[in-house]
Amino acid sequence: MTLIVRSESPTPERSTVWLEGRLDANTFTDLDEALRDITPMVENNGTLVLDLSQLDYISSAGLRSLALLRRNMHDRGARTLLLNPQPQVKKVFEIVKAVPVAEVFANVAELDQYLDHIQRQVAGGPLP
């Protein structure tokens, strides 16, 4: 099985990458290569969202790729948030404690609520 990596036209503030298939020892380099092109387009303090709704499987090699991505983004002051993981993938995250629970969102509405909250904190009050 393969891994399909898609992204929207990235903006400096927020970009989304969709993963479909299996992220394992045979496919992790596909993700690493795709992210090499995408992550430089996200500015420091920006956000990269990985939509995992179509990711069926993740192995230790896949976890390694996500850990490297998170570290690289963190070093630039940017963040990586995970969206819609399937139950089996979410369970792997829970077991290995690879991703902080606060950075995994069940759906877009939950992610947007979190981002709204963060922006309100920075702005010091209600947003228009």
User: Could you tell me the residue range of the domain that residue 28 belongs to?
Assistant: 3-123
What's the CA gap between 70 and 51, in Å, rounded? 14
Identify whether 46 is part of a domain. Answer: yes
**At residue 41, what is the residue type?**
M
pTM for the predicted model, two decimal places: 0.81
Number of structural domains in the chain:
1
**In which band, very low, low, confident or very high, does the pLDDT at 12 lie, cut at 50, 70 and 90?**
confident
Dump pLDDT digits (tens) for 43-77.
888 899 999 999 999 999 999 999 999 999 999 99
Identify whether 18 is part of a domain. Answer: yes
Identify whether 40 is part of a domain. Answer: yes
Q: Where are the beta strands (DSSP E) in 1-128?
A: 3-7, 14-23, 47-58, 79-83, 104-105
Asked whether the predicted pLDDT for residue 22 surpasses 90, the reply is: yes
Identify whether 128 is part of a domain. Answer: no
User: What CATH number is attached to the domain comprising 100?
Assistant: 3.30.750.24
Identify whether 16 is part of a domain. Answer: yes
Identify whether 91 is part of a domain. Answer: yes
Percent of the chain predicted with pLDDT > 90: 54
